[in-house]
Amino acid sequence: MVEMPPCRFYGCAVVHQYRHRNCRLGGVGQGADRSRSRCVGTAAGEACGTERTGTDNHTPMGDLGKELHAICTKYDIRGIADATFTERHARALGNGFAAWCTKSDRLGAGHIVVGRDCRVSGERLSEAFIEGVLDQGCDVVDIGLASTDMLYAASGQSHAPGAMLTASHNPAQYNGIKLTGPGAVPLSREYGISEIIAAADAPPTTQRGRRRTESWLERFVELVLSSVDTGKLQGKVVAVDAANGMGALIAPAVLDAAGIKHRILYGELDGTFPNHPANPLEAENLRDLQAYVVGEQAWAGIAFDGDADRAFLVDGRGVGVSGSTTTALVAEGILRRAPGERVLYNLICSRAVRETIEACGGTPIRTPVGHSIIKRIMAETGAVFGGEHSAHYYFRDFWRADSGIIAALHALTIVATCESDLATMRGRYEPYVASGEINHKVADPAATLAHVEHVAAGITTDLLDGVSLDAGKWWGNVRRSNTEPFVRANIEAADAGSLAEGIADVNAMVLAKR
């Protein structure tokens, strides 16, 4: 007799010979009637009488599929822990991910790497996800607490699929999953995640997978420091705002190994993020680091988001540095060592990024917004580096994955190599003034963009991602959000007056169709 897992439809505590019929999460067996409120037994004749207790054990796959699709964004899974994203959802996704990897021959090294950030819900959801993977007979390498770029490193170096339990920069009550194929290849709703959801009710295999734990911090530090020569940074004092997220794990380890002096702000792992949200893209969340840099007389500062795959720089005067400026800095540093290489930048980056790449002898390639698109274009073009204004930075030699700590070290290294400081050197990459992101909530984003394209036909340059405009005195882009009913505008100009004119013109176009 082959023992099967406990029934997850009724939540029975006993192990039956066969799984209950129609128990979509537990697999297909015999002897149960979904319309009944109690377990009525199996083909072998036993019945435990367990009552159904709550939706976690008996929601039909049709409803489960809808729930999973509801928390599927364009690039990952994201929901409110224990509400829209529960242990049941995590286990089903682990089950579907392992089934998809096995069926599509994407198991790579033969196991799946799983990591998590420090959110309160992370350990429970990670355990549930791992159980789902094991149900499919797949082995798991559990790397425990990790930054997302550490997970990418583990996936890349071992050529294994990976899953990172994180909600990135979202508030503490959220959690989610970022999924990769072998070699840190990104998955998205269009590639992989929809099929994974469809496979979430795959019946468990008779042979469960095995689980082992591995520590990846030391190997990650070695990989980071092998990708950038930090010798010029030794002796510099760098302040770090870890925001109680995973930067508190990786930043001290990397900076200590590099011989860089550091001061850590909010360096305790605490998934409630008690000091401020782990989202340095919002200006108010940089204020503590800005004051800390000035107070500690630090040479520069680095702020991380919750899973530490994004890093934001602050100069020695306490002024934040944009993702565009950081992209230009990293590009110059890399192109000094590898002239002629291709470098990607997304279409909301400053015009100065393209000009910097060209001035340094590189070939600039403009891309739409979005990490899976950029990674695909990197693979197609062989680009050495790619940067986004949102502070995602991708490196060919890091499996085309993004890493905040690698980008920060590259950017600060070129500053130190030039025997300058960030507050002084940034000026060469910031000849223009910018609006920042302007968000408009609209009833129909597609109709709004079509209207902008129509009324701005004379100044439209392309439709690569939304509508890109160039009016001579100002230029910019209007595009739709991937996740919300918004259109987002980014405008740039040579002077403040022209910028104000551009903002007014674009706002009028958008609001006319609001």
The set of residues, in sequence order, having a beta carbon less than 8 Å from that of 38 and lying 6+ positions away, is 10, 47, 49, 50, 51, 52
Give the tokens for residue 427: 């000026």
Closest CA to 39 of 25, 24, 58: 58
Sign of the alpha-carbon dihedral angle for 238, 244, 248, 250: negative
Is residue 275 within 8 Å of 264, Cβ to Cβ? no
168 is catalytic: yes
Q: Which of 219, 225, 299 is nearest to 257 (CA)?
A: 225
The single residue listed with the structure tokens 């893209």 is 281
Backbone angles phi, psi at 376, to 5 degrees: -65, -45
Amino acid at 56: D
Rg (CA), the chain: 25
Which structure tokens are listed for 233? Answer: 């940074």
Which structure tokens are listed for 506?
């674009």
The β-bridge partners of 174 are 80
For residue 135, which of 41, 202, 68, 83 has the smallest C-alpha distance? 202
Among 72, 56, 308, which Cα is nearest to 176's?
A: 72
Cα 193 to Cα 176, 200, 244: the distances in Å are 13, 10, 30
- Are 96 and 196 in contact by the 8 Å Cβ rule? The answer is yes
Which residue stretches of 71-201 are H helix? 87-103, 122-135, 148-158, 193-198
Residue in 150, 159, 310 with CA at minimum distance from that of residue 218: 150
| Rounded distance between C-alpha atoms, residue 77 and residue 69, angstroms | 9
Give the containing element (helix H, strand E) for 504.
helix 496-511
Q: Are strands 467-470 and 300-304 parallel, antiparallel or unpaired?
A: unpaired
Q: 155, 158, 168, 403: which one is catalytic?
A: 168
CB proximity list for 101: less than 8 A, separation 6 or greater: 107, 108, 112, 138, 161, 181
3-state secondary structure of 177: strand
How far apart CA 396 and CA 264 sit, in angstroms, is 29
Q: What DSSP element (H or E) covers 450?
A: helix 445-455
Report the alpha-carbon distance of residue 396 to residue 394 in Å, rounded.
Answer: 7
Contact 108, 159 (CB under 8 A): yes
| Whether the Cβ atoms of residue 177 and residue 151 lie closer than 8 Å to each other | no
Give catalytic residues, as residue numbers. 168
